[in-house]
Amino acid sequence: MKKVLITGASGRIGSRLIPYLKEDYSLVLADKDVSSLTDWNADTMTVHSLDIVNKEECERVCDGVDVVIHLAGNPSPSTPYDEVKTVNMDGTYNMMAAAKEAGVTRFVFASSIHAVKGYPEDVQVKTDSPVRPLDLYGVGKVFGEALGNYFAYQEGMEVIAIRIGGHMSIELGIKAGKQPKKDQRSSYISERDMNQLIKRCIEAELDEPFLLVHGISDNEYNYLDLSDTKKKLGYRPEDDGFRVFETYQ
């Protein structure tokens, strides 16, 4: 069994990923607040408190790990620069450096659609389109992508960066009484598509040490182009943000 570390394991993506992966991998769950993770069976997975700003803690949780799924960080698009730098940028560096030092073979970085959200809604962004962050949060994700490229080509650790769209944004919005807009539908990714994509990132063979992919469902119109992601990872999304809304009417 591969040993897979999930940082930010109690977050929106991580908490839904654990039951999907737990039968196939030995999981290490890490988060700053582990109170919601204590119910998991200690025989099949381990839980660690982790502050990614602390390099020594990053080194500790990476020990003996094969693959890191790095989801930890401040997820708010309105995150001020000081926290973008300290938590999202410095924290990502700490995790990648610790992973490399520990002999981790593959690092999966949760980037964001915000790295390229500055393009107009009617422009479909390719994986090779120039970055165009919408906010400082997006700037931090661009930094993470560049850092992953460095660790892949200069340090020899495989890195996959996923530009994640709106994870379950439509379901969560509707539950809050909000009707989804077109841009939410075109950037939507469902729980099962997100889980499948991350598993493909763990298992797929790479032609190059660094890969940038797009994390959205197979929506009727996609803000992010999926052709590279499908081809290089074997990703087969099942949901459509324009149709998901219909199930809630």
Query: 184: which 2 tokens?
Result: 């939410």
Architecture, CATH, for domain 3-248: 3-Layer(aba) Sandwich (3.40)
Nearest CA among 189, 190, 159, 174 for reference residue 69: 159
Rounded to whole angstroms, the Cα distance separating 165 from 240 reads 13
Residue 205: the pLDDT is 97
Chain-centroid distance, C-alpha 18: 14
Q: Please report which confidence band the pLDDT of residue 216 belongs to, taking 50, 70 and 90 as the band edges.
A: very high
Residue 227 in contact with residue 212, Cβ under 8 Å? no
Q: What is the mean pLDDT of the chain?
A: 93
The structure tokens 């080194």 sit at 59
Domain boundaries, the chain: 3-248
Model confidence at 249, in pLDDT bands (50, 70, 90)? very low
Assess whether 235 carries a catalytic annotation.
no
Mean local confidence (pLDDT), 101-120: 97
Across the range 74-87, mean pLDDT stands at: 95
Active-site residue among 25, 137, 188, 223? Answer: 137
